[in-house]
Amino acid sequence: MSSWLSPKARKGDPSGIAGRGLFAREPIAAGEVVAVKGGHLVDTATLLALPERLQGSEIQVAEGLHLVARHDDEYEPVMLFINHSCEPNVGFAGNTVLAAMRDVAAGEELTTDYALFDTPATTPMACSCGTPSCRGTIRGDDWRHPALRARHAGWFSRYLADRHSRLRSYELEAFNTATASTNKIHDDDVARRFGFSGGLVPGVDVYAYLCHLPAQAWDERWLAGGMMAARFRSPVYDGDRVLVTALPEGDDLDLEVRDPTGVVCAVARASVAPELVDGDPVDPDDWPSGSPPDTEDRPPATAEVLRTADLGAVAATFRADHAAPYLDDVREDLPLFRDQVRAVAHPGWLLRFANSILVANVALGPWIHTESTVRFLGLVADGDHVETRARVAAVRERGGHQYVDLDVVQHVAGRPVARIAHTAIFRLRDADRDAE
């Protein structure tokens, strides 16, 4: 079992990029075949059961299928030792055939961009290619980067080219709706003191951006019984032209938000028919239903206070004829939310109250919403009065930040409409220094 290598190439010599590499023995013309990847065809479970060294010989050729060396004595023959470069000279002509993207001189190292074929998104690695366009970090989802898709068009593996064809996208200009908020992380000057470039667009609004493609795909079915779990990795700033993409994965959608430089700012997984989870069915009476304290009586947000807090509920009535300003702010144009005859409440609008319940119960400095998983349990229609209740699920520290996890339920006259796992950094690690 082995890969085929052109007689014009040699493998295994020391590389200036990393470890051993693949090199041109003599000039190779653009379009000329450099190698054909070999290996055993295995499913993902079999791949993951192999030793880590053998897994490193893998290339994905279809959904759930990979070529890989299965035995130690096959590793060297199967490996091509082709290193990554952000400015590659080798691309794919199919799933297993590698060809020169340009004329290659004798002695030049042969490289490919790992974004041209699939690598696990869970294993980012530092890039040491040293090229002017070096990305610094290589991730398994780099193939979704719009600039890379344009730059390397025609050189992706067939498997990834097929994924490109299924990718849905939505572009918008982000808007910071919270510049006047009591949460000063949305203020440019305060946010810069914490190392950001400016005031952060609220996470609940980035969540709203992520909702567009699932709502477009599944309509009311998603809002009546679906779910979406989102994590916010990197800030979105006012005026950023952001790209939201959705990739169908079975019955789900795998979503991303990228900023104009291609940085992944948020990731999400949406499902129209999720499996039942612990706690189903939901009874709103299991959550505290009292009133929040008066604003001037709110205790400071400390770990001790939050661990013992009985959070008061907040409530609001959805009015379809008042929804347009909110929808304008989050750049939402779907008739599902705009048509006043059948309009339903936007999930992003509802999620805002998971923030509101925290603000209503404790006094906060600058804080950041980092993650939300929302299970939709029913539609919110015009005139529905929505009460949001919450309890503290956990308080924890990580990387110097202090986090709170809220378990939130929303209901209309006792009918559950959403259950939310909502996470925020309630105290940033530099908060004391900033206050000095």
Q: Among 135-149, 171-185, 219-233, 386-400, which is the least confidently predicted range?
A: 135-149
> Do 183 and 199 meet the contact criterion of CB atoms below 8 Å apart?
no
What pLDDT is stored for residue 218 in this prediction? 96
Percentage of residues of the chain with pLDDT beyond 70: 96
Cα three-residue angle 54-42-84, rounded to 5 degrees: 50
Tell me the helices (H) and strands (E) count for the chain, helix number first. Answer: 13, 23
Q: Among 18-32, 80-94, 272-286, which is the least confidently predicted range?
A: 272-286
Mean predicted confidence (pLDDT) in 61-86:
94
Last residue of a domain, one of 166, 191, 218: 166
Domain range holding 132? 4-166
What pLDDT is stored for residue 139 in this prediction? 84
Instruction: Answer whether residue 386 shows pLDDT above 60.
Output: yes
Q: Which residue carries 């996890």 as its tokens?
A: 405
Predicted confidence band of residue 123 (pLDDT cuts 50, 70, 90): low
Could you tell me if 221 and 336 lie in one domain? Answer: yes
Mean predicted confidence (pLDDT) in 33-60:
94
Predicted confidence band of residue 342 (pLDDT cuts 50, 70, 90): confident
Could you tell me if 303 and 424 lie in one domain? Answer: yes
The CATH number of the domain holding residue 14 is: 2.170.270.10
Could you tell me if 73 and 213 lie in one domain? Answer: no
User: Which pair of tokens denotes residue 25?
Assistant: 């023995």
Number of structural domains (the chain) is: 2
Percentage of residues of the chain with pLDDT beyond 90: 84
Last residue of a domain, one of 134, 166, 198: 166
Instruction: Answer whether residue 435 shows pLDDT above 50.
Output: no
DSSP 3-state of 136: coil
Q: φ and ψ at 216, to 5 degrees?
A: -65, -40
422: in domain: yes
For 212-268, the pLDDT digits (tens) are 999 999 999 999 999 999 999 999 999 999 999 999 988 899 999 999 988 999 999
Q: Rounded distance, CA 7 to CA 419, Å?
A: 61
DSSP characters for 239-273? T-EEEEEEEEETTEEEEEEE-TT--EEEEEEEESS
Could you tell me if 80 and 117 lie in one domain? Answer: yes
What's the sign of the alpha-carbon dihedral 289, 349, 210, 395? Answer: negative
Closest CA to 245 of 271, 266, 223, 218: 266
What pLDDT is stored for residue 436 in this prediction? 40
Cβ neighbours of residue 182 closer than 8 Å, sequence gap 6 or more: 359, 364
262: in domain: no
Instruction: Answer whether residue 277 shows pLDDT above 90.
Output: no
399: in domain: yes
DSSP assigned state of 200: B
Could you tell me if 88 and 197 lie in one domain? Answer: no
Q: How far is CA 390 from the centre of its chain?
A: 25
HSE of 204, CA atoms in CB hemisphere, 13 A? 22
DSSP assigned state of 127: -
What pLDDT is stored for residue 384 in this prediction? 97
242: in domain: no
Instruction: Answer whether residue 144 shows pLDDT above 80.
Output: yes
425: in domain: yes
Could you tell me if 34 and 138 lie in one domain? Answer: yes
For 19-28, the pLDDT digits (tens) are 999 999 999 9
Could you tell me if 47 and 188 lie in one domain? Answer: no
Q: Rounded distance, CA 228 to CA 233, Å?
A: 16
Predicted confidence band of residue 429 (pLDDT cuts 50, 70, 90): confident
Predicted confidence band of residue 204 (pLDDT cuts 50, 70, 90): very high
Mean predicted confidence (pLDDT) in 308-315:
95
What pLDDT is stored for residue 341 in this prediction? 79
Instruction: Answer whether residue 89 shows pLDDT above 90.
Output: yes
